[in-house]
Amino acid sequence: MLLSILNLKRTKESRAQANKLAAKKQLIESEAAKEAAIKKFDDYVIWRLREETRRYSAIEGRSITERAFQRLKLEMSVLRNKDALLLEDIELSKKALIDAEEAYRHAEKTYKQAQLDVQKYEVWCDEEQAERDRLSSLKEESELEEFMPKQSVT
């Protein structure tokens, strides 16, 4: 009975450890996703600025129609709107990272508690076994005394 309970506690500890490792993996992936989102935004802004410069340079000194100019402004607006989408991706990745950090802290706390539970139960089992051994030894001694002849005092 005691061993089966101990095995259950060890199983719980193993699951808690697996959950902690999974949470750590998710945390690492979330950190990488945040860094990738930031890099993607930075790379895009650099590209967009170059692209705007290239497009404006292409029409510099030339006469263009109002319609072509409005189209160019619309294209630049679309490029700049992508900045907002990429910034939103960064914010989402930051939130995911915060969630992953919280999940890891919780998994780590759960694992530490499971470890303590196993340790406490192991100590208790050892104490119980020592008590059973002591009682068994006393019982054996008492049984031996029953069969031993009593010595008379003269």
What per-residue string of b and e applies to 74-83 under the rule 16 or more CB within 10 Å gives b? eeeeebeeee
Q: Is residue 150 part of a domain?
A: no
Q: Is residue 29 part of a domain?
A: yes
Q: Which spans in the chain are helix H? A: 2-59, 66-147
Segment 8-58, tens digit of pLDDT: 888 999 999 999 999 999 999 999 999 999 999 999 999 999 999 998 898
Q: Is residue 94 part of a domain?
A: yes
Segment 48-72, tens digit of pLDDT: 999 999 988 988 888 889 998 899 9
Give the model's pLDDT for residue 43. 97
Q: Is residue 149 part of a domain?
A: no
- Domain of 64: which CATH number? 1.10.287.1700
Helices 2-59 and 66-147, interaxial angle, to 10°?
Answer: 170
- Is the pLDDT reported for residue 1 higher than 80? no
Give the model's pLDDT for residue 129. 86
Mean pLDDT of the 133-145 span:
79
Q: How many domains does the chain have?
A: 1
pTM score of the predicted model: 0.72
The range of the structural domain enclosing residue 59 comes to 2-144
Supply the mean pLDDT for the chain: 90
Tell how far CA 80 is from the center of its chain.
Answer: 35
Confidence class for position 101, pLDDT limits 50, 70, 90: very high
Neighbours of 23 (CB within 10 A): 21
Confidence class for position 151, pLDDT limits 50, 70, 90: low
Give the model's pLDDT for residue 141. 75
Q: Is residue 152 part of a domain?
A: no
Q: Which of the residue ranges 21-25, 76-80, 136-140, 150-154 would you say has the lowest mean pLDDT?
A: 150-154
Phi-psi region of 151 (alpha: psi -120 to 50; beta: other; left: phi over 0): beta
Confidence class for position 105, pLDDT limits 50, 70, 90: very high
